[in-house]
Structure 1
Amino acid sequence: MAAVPGLALTVTIAATGFVLREIPGVSVFSPMILAIVIGIAFHNLVGTPAVAKAGVVFSLRRVLRLAIILLGLQLTAAQIAEVGATGIAIIALTLVSTFIFTVRLGRMLGVERKLAELIAAGTSICGASAVIATNTVTRAPDEDVAYAVACVTVFGSIAMFAYPLLPGLLGLDAHAYGLWAGASIHEIAQVVAAAFQDGQQAGEFGTVAKLSRVMLLAPVVLSLGLMATRRAKRNGNSQMTAKAPVPWFVLGFIAMVAFNSAVTIPSEAKSMIVMATTFMLSIALAAMGLETDIAKLRAKGFRPLLLGLAAFLFIATFSLVMIKLVG
């Protein structure tokens, strides 16, 4: 029951996004993009009520993960195989390079290590989910977690708006654009919103590429946990190694892909599933907007913000160069 007020708010914002999309000129934007814009505006101009907090968190976590699971019903094993060894290699190399770049640049800029690691994880893996998961081993202060979440949400949102304008300019076909979006945009929902702007094929491939990247969350967090334990031993502290979280929603996504590959779902039912999935993703993005406090980006000064921007530009550029090099 505690989640009802916040869930009602995110549902209302998502529904508003669908309604606004019917206005001429606004239809070029997906309801997901409109939902996050409305959410950010509401939170920073009006303020998200405290009573809505539980529902916003529920929308951002549970609803988003359920929507990701249902996305599996739009894909088949044959489509996932299209990512291939080369695509996976690009995704993995981009992730590792971005994480190392961000942490090292953070040290050069004087950003506190824990905050730099959170921004690195959120940028290189999967946004807010990676920030929260990484903090199970980083154990940063709450304000650092809030800053990192706000940071990756803002820059991921910028990517979500900017990327759909670039495929033609950069000479990217649907396959290359989807891989670029999946390998470099921060949040899963942001990838979906940006990739599908270039068509169904780009959207589906971008989703698969992003989920392939999300699957690397557990080993990254486990590695950070091992490094944190070593640092603790060197400092004479006895700390328990935190367990890396299992991305269960990715396992659910895989299960749905397997089901969709084995069973033919009627077109009418699939159309309803697609609509429901888009609406749930819009709910999650509305919640993301309601969690984005622009004031928090200013509270810690300019350097962490600069780090987040540099990480965003690095992952976008590095992954694009890799894709261009392999053709």
Structure 2
Amino acid sequence: MMKIKNLFFWLGLILCVTPAINSPMALILGFLITSFGLVPQGIAVTKITKKLLAYSIVGLGFGIPLQQALSVTAHGIGLVMTTIIGTLLIGTVIASWIGLDKKTGHLIASGTAICGGSAIAAVAPAIDAKDEQIGVALGTVFVLNSVALFLFPMIGHALQLDQQTFGTWAAIAIHDTSSVVGAASAYGADALKTATTLKLARALWIVPVAFVSAWLFRSHTKKVTIPYFILFYCVAIAITALFPQGHRIYHLVFILSKQALVVCLYLIGCGISIQRLKQSGPRPFLFGVTLWILISCTSLSWLLTHPL
């Protein structure tokens, strides 16, 4: 009987290695596996997940074209910095006001400010977040991503936003890069180009945010835990810029890293139980929705009053 239970866990893991399972599905699959008590005993899921998360983030660095990202950042540095810093600061205030767990609130705010699941995955090891905190943050972001994918193009058409304005808005207000690309591609080719480039530029901010997060959440009895994998993430980005001839290899590493991140989400899901979700309550989701509405409305208002 125990072998059959273990089999379901390993089958789920194998599925997550294939393109048939995306990030949200992996998280849900892991949650179902643990809900039915199918996670094998003796497997250090948390330890494995943290290491694999770090490796995944480093690999994702090979998918960011440095020159393109820096160029876009230079043109919109004010807007980028304001929205990122503003989201993190407002998120901290709201999380404290509603009594939300600090680490969960910071993870959701980081995902909202930068690039969704990737930012959460990068910041989580830096602040030593627990699986349930990571899972709740990722779950919140994934739900809002799904809504944004359909809602943003509808709003854009209703307001008759031009391609560049919509692309900029999507890159700022939608969490994950995949949803940004999906929404922008549905709106138009120019919107897609603007949104993708700006979103990649925002992804560079994972580096300083991860380091600052490590310092903010340092233990009083321990020194600051330096997220060294972020340094390797920077090295990966630099390598793609210095040695462009290896673009095929970089693309392969990037694709494999994205799939490894899916496996991470499956393992994170395996660490989430219904009991833990009940303990978290509705606050994380309400916090995520509130923060998302604030950044969406304020950024759109600014873009409407300051045409690009």
1:1-327 mapped onto 2 (5 Å cutoff) = 8-10=14-16, 12=18, 14=19, 35=22, 50=39, 69-70=62-63, 72=65, 77=67, 80=69, 83=72, 85-229=74-218, 232=219, 237-245=220-228, 246=230, 248-249=232-233, 252=236, 256=240, 298-327=278-307
User: Does the 8 A contact of 2:59 with 2:257 survive in 1?
Assistant: no
User: Does the 8 A contact of 1:99 with 1:124 survive in 2?
Assistant: yes
Q: Compared with structure 1, are the counterparts of its residues 41 and 81 closer, same or farther at alpha carbon in structure 2 (3 Å cutoff)?
A: closer
Q: Count how many residue pairs are aligned between Structure 1 and Structure 2.
A: 288
Shift of 1:59: 9.6
Q: How far does the alpha carbon of each residue in 1:255-279 deviate from its partner, in whole angstroms, 9 at most, with x for none?
A: 546766xx8x9xxx9xxx99x8998
Shift of 1:176: 1.9
TM-score with structure 2 length normalisation? 0.70
Shift of 1:164: 3.0
> Which letter does structure 2 place at the counterpart of 1:9?
L
Could you say what secondary structure the match of 2:292 adopts?
helix
Q: Structure 2: how far apart are the matches of 1:164 and 1:105?
A: 28
Q: Which moved more, 1:93-102 or 1:189-198?
A: 189-198
User: Does the 8 A contact of 2:112 with 2:141 survive in 1?
Assistant: yes
Shift of 1:98: 0.8
| Percent pairwise identity | 24
Q: Which runs of 5+ in 2 are unaligned?
A: 1-8
TM-score with structure 1 length normalisation? 0.67
User: Does the 8 A contact of 2:61 with 2:254 survive in 1?
Assistant: no
User: Does the 8 A contact of 1:196 with 1:203 survive in 2?
Assistant: yes
User: Does the 8 A contact of 2:70 with 2:201 survive in 1?
Assistant: no
Could you say what secondary structure the match of 1:119 adopts?
helix
Q: Structure 1: how far apart are the matches of 2:112 and 2:95?
A: 13
> Which letter does structure 2 place at the counterpart of 1:306?
L
Could you say what secondary structure the match of 2:221 adopts?
coil
User: Does the 8 A contact of 1:90 with 1:323 survive in 2?
Assistant: no
User: Does the 8 A contact of 2:215 with 2:224 survive in 1?
Assistant: yes
Q: How far does the alpha carbon of each residue in 1:139-177 deviate from its partner, in whole angstroms, 9 at most, with x for none?
A: 343322221222222222322332233322233222222
Q: Structure 2: how far apart are the matches of 1:210 and 1:39?
A: 24
Q: Which moved more, 1:94-103 or 1:136-145?
A: 136-145
Shift of 1:285: 8.7
User: Does the 8 A contact of 1:181 with 1:191 survive in 2?
Assistant: yes
Q: Which moved more, 1:190-199 or 1:293-302?
A: 293-302
Q: Structure 2: how far apart are the matches of 1:101 and 1:38?
A: 30
Q: Which runs of 5+ in 1 are unaligned?
A: 18-34
Q: How far does the alpha carbon of each residue in 1:36-91 deviate from its partner, in whole angstroms, 9 at most, with x for none?
A: 6765775677889758x89999998867875773574xxx95x6576354522212
> Which letter does structure 1 place at the counterpart of 2:288?
G
Q: Which residue of 2 aligns with 1:22?
A: none
User: Does the 8 A contact of 1:121 with 1:130 survive in 2?
Assistant: yes
Shift of 1:105: 0.6
User: Does the 8 A contact of 1:192 with 1:207 survive in 2?
Assistant: yes
Q: Compared with structure 1, are the counterparts of its residues 131 and 177 closer, same or farther at alpha carbon in structure 2 (3 Å cutoff)?
A: same
> Which letter does structure 1 place at the counterpart of 2:224?
T
User: Does the 8 A contact of 1:92 with 1:213 survive in 2?
Assistant: no
Q: Compared with structure 1, are the counterparts of its residues 67 and 8 closer, same or farther at alpha carbon in structure 2 (3 Å cutoff)?
A: farther
Q: Structure 2: how far apart are the matches of 1:207 and 1:198?
A: 13
